[in-house]
Structure 1
Amino acid sequence: MSSKDITLKDIFEEIPYRLSRILTPAPIKELLPTNFPSTELRVDFLARLEDESVLHIEFQSFNDPNMPFRMLRYYLAIWERYPNSPIKQLLVYVGNRKLRMKSKLRLRNLTFSYEMLDIRQIDCNVLLESPDPMDRLLACLCRVEDEAYLIEKLIKTMEGMNEEERKAYLLKALTLTELRPNLRIRFTEEVRHMPIVVRPEDVRLPKRKLRKDILYRLGLEEGKQIGLEEGRHIGLEEGKQIGLQEGKQIGLEEGLLKSAQEMLIAIIEGKLGYVPEEIANRIREIKDVEFLRSLAKKLASTSEDVMQVLSTELRIS
């Protein structure tokens, strides 16, 4: 199970106040067990509603062509356990790419369907104004028009928490924003001075992804890190830590530049499935962080031909 899946499950165990009212057709009466030992299946969210129906919500962070078959398997397992209850299924897509999955399955003797929602259809401000901290956290995944305002609200939410609560909340935010790379860069820059120590193992990324992550990049350069205990040099490996705390900012500019370069390369790889060597080399020659971020944002949202955009922006013939 990925760190994003774990975080979403953790959040929904607390039933976010406002989002639950957007997603559920009736008020929640009780949460139900999400595991089905006889089938080795586990769903993301299962609840009985006040109208006595059973609601199943599944979160999906990438386009899976087999999703209709998965949802059918979940449906049958739920029906076997609750045969007398109407079953409602909702797939909530939280990925960064365009939603391309189908919500229907048509076989020779079977027609099956379920509801599907791209979470970016929800205005993040609806959740940011909620009194529930978990709603504000999930706003990261929704449609964001003003990133600065969203980050301000998240930071303000953490102000009333104790140190452990702040750390847990920050880690959830960092995990969810893996799905929104541009927001993650900006959010990490804003919270880097908070008196919270975040270790690589806390972020729960595979090593190959950790090395590309902005938290790692900010503390790169032979283990130099951002402001931990008045700028002491503490490395990343073997218990060495990335510190998000006030102090000397060692290697910050270089870390931000490398993070922006690697983030752009990762987006290109996600779009094309590979990165031409000429383009990768050209990107690593660029020292303008703002230009790299702007190009990454453009590529992440463009419907134009990626190679044409790169040729124009990077001036490659």
Structure 2
Amino acid sequence: MSSKDIALKDIFEEIPQRLSKILAPAPIKELLPTNFPSTELRVDFLARLEDESILHIEFQSFNDNNMPFRMLRYYLAIWERYPSNPIKQLLVYVGNRKLRMKSRLKLRNLTFSYEMIDIRQIDCRVLLESPDPMDRLLACLCKVEDEAYLIEKLIKTMEGMNEEERKDYLLKALTLTELRPNLRIRLTEEVRHMPIVVRPEDIKLPKRKLRKDILYRLGLEEGKHIGFQEGEVIGIEKGKQIGFQEGEIIGIEKGLLKSAQDMVVAIIEAKLGYVPEEIANRIREIKDVDFLRSLAKKLVSASEDFMQVLATELKIS
């Protein structure tokens, strides 16, 4: 199970007030067990509604051509357990690419269908105005027109929490925004100076992805809240004195420079989906850490003029 799936399941264990009203055709009466031991199946969300129907919600972060077959298997398992209750199924697509899945299966002797919604059809402001912190978290995945306002709301939500609660909430937000790379970069920039200690194991990514992660890189660069040495957390003071490169301890200047270069490359990759070789080589030629940091901030805030900012700053025609 991916970290994003875990985060979504954790959120829905607390039934977000406003989103549940949007997704559920009737008020939720009780949550139901999501595992089906006899079939080894497990659904994302299952509840009994006040009209006694059973609501099944499945979250999907990528296009899967086999989704109708999966939903049919879930339907049969649910029907076997609750044969006298009407079953309503909803697939909620949370991915970043265009939704291309079908919500209907038609075979020779069988026709089966379910409802499907792209969560980006929901205006994030509807959830941001909810008093429920979980609703505000899920707003990260919805239609966002004002990223600054969303991030402001998330930070304000964390103000009344203790340190552990803030850390858990922030990590869930960062996990969910892996699906929205541009938003994740901006969120990371805004919260990087919050007094929260984040360890490598808290960033639930495979090792090969962890070293590329923007939060991980910022920790290497700043050394204020996160320091890494062979994958372990080290003290704040040590964090200011070391850099990290392929598992070796290196000097502060070289470490900060590589971290700053990597951060710029990560931002470009998040914006474009790839990094042109000419641009990557140009960034590796830059030895001014302050310039790279300034460039990173400009690129994060750039939208339609992203390529123009990049070309101007790097002096590339």
Q: TM-score range by the shorter chain?
A: 0.7 to 0.9
CA deviations 1:254-282 (Å, max 9, x no partner) are 64552231343366557xxxx77556546
1:209 corresponds in structure 2 to: 209
Match of 1:37 in 2: 37
Conserved? CA contact 2:56–2:90, under 8 Å:
yes
Cα distance in 2 between the residues matched to 1:298 and 1:70 = 39
AA in 2 matched with 1:227:
K
For residues 255 and 71 of structure 1, the distance between their equivalents in structure 2, rounded to whole angstroms, comes to: 44
What secondary structure does 2:268 align onto?
helix
Q: 1:83 to 1:129 in 2, by over 3 A?
A: same
2:303 equivalent to 1:289: no
Q: What is aligned with 2:230?
A: 237
Say which SS state the counterpart of residue 178 (structure 2) adopts.
helix
Aligned to 1:307: none
User: In the TM superposition, what is the alpha-carbon distance from 1:299 to its structure 2 partner?
Assistant: 12
Give yes or no for the alignment of 1:264 onto 2:268: yes
Within 1, Cα distance between the matches of 2:315 and 2:117? 39
**1:3 and 1:205 in contact (8 A); partners too:** yes
The 2-side partners of 1:263 and 1:111 are apart by: 45
Aligned counterparts of 1:284 and 1:143: Cα–Cα separation in 2: 35
Q: Which residue of 2 aligns with 1:80?
A: 80
Give the direction of change, closer, same or farther, for the CA distance of 1:241–1:95 in structure 2 (3 Å limit): farther
Counterpart amino acid of residue 19 in structure 1: L
d(CA) in 1 for partners of 2:197 and 2:34? 33
Stretches of structure 2 lacking an aligned partner (at least 5 in a row): 242-251, 287-291
- Mapped to 2, the partners of 1:180 and 1:279 lie a distance apart of 23
Q: Aligned runs of 1:112-151 on 2, under 5 Å?
A: 112-151=112-151
TM value normalised by structure 2: 0.82
What's the secondary structure of 2:21's corresponding residue? Answer: helix
Q: Is the 8 A contact 2:26 2:50 kept in 1?
A: yes
Change in CA separation of 1:155 and 1:254 when aligned onto 2, cut-off 3 Å: farther
User: In 2, are the aligned partners of 1:171 and 1:202 still within 8 Å (CA)?
Assistant: yes
Whole-Å Cα distance in 2 between the matches of residues 147 and 78 of structure 1? 39
> Given the two structures, how large is their TM-score scaled by the length of structure 1?
0.82
- 1:239 & 1:6 partners in 2: Cα distance? 24
Question: What's the counterpart of residue 191 of structure 2?
Answer: 191
Task: Give the whole-Å Cα distance in 1 for the aligned partners of 2:278 and 2:8.
Answer: 38
| Paired residues of 1:268 and 1:299 also in contact (CA < 8 A) | no
* Distance in 2, Cα, partners of 1:182 & 1:269: 11
- State the alpha-carbon separation in 1 of the partners of residues 156 and 123 from structure 2: 19
In structure 2, the residue matched to 1:304 is: none
Alpha-carbon displacement from aligned partner over 1:259-316 (angstroms, at most 9, x marks no partner): 231343366557xxxx775565466568533565478x6699xxxxxxxxx99xx999
- Which residue among 182, 202, 224 is the counterpart of 1:227? 224
Q: Which string of whole-angstrom CA distances, capped at 9 and with x for unpartnered residues, describes residues 169-216 of structure 1?
A: 111111111111001011011011111001110011101111111011
Distance 2:283 2:304 in 1: 15
How many Å separate the matches in 2 of 1:148 and 1:7? 23
Rate the CA distance shift 1:53–1:261 in 2: closer, same or farther, 3 A: same
Aligned-pair distance for 1:226? Answer: 3.6
Q: 1:183 to 1:41 in 2, by over 3 A?
A: same
Give yes or no for contact 1:58–1:92 (8 Å, CA) kept in 2: yes
1:126 partner SS: helix
Separation of aligned partners in 2, 1:124 and 1:257: 33
Instruction: Say whether the 8 Å CA contact 1:28–1:47 is kept in structure 2.
Output: yes
For 1:242 and 1:182, locate their aligned partners in 2 and report how far apart those are by CA, in whole Å: 30
CA–CA distance in structure 2, aligned partners of residues 299 and 114 of structure 1: 41
- SS of equivalent residue, structure 1 residue 91: strand
Segments of structure 1 that go 5 or more residues without pairing to the other structure are: 301-309
Q: Share of identical aligned residues, percent?
A: 78
CA distance in 1, matches of 2:202, 2:217: 16
SS at match of 2:135: helix
1:236 CA drift (Å): 4.5
**Structure 1 residues 218-276: Cα deviation after superposition (integer angstroms, max 9, x where no partner):** 133xxx54424xxxx94243422597xxx99x877864552231343366557xxxx77
Cα 1:145/1:284, change in 2 over 3 Å: farther
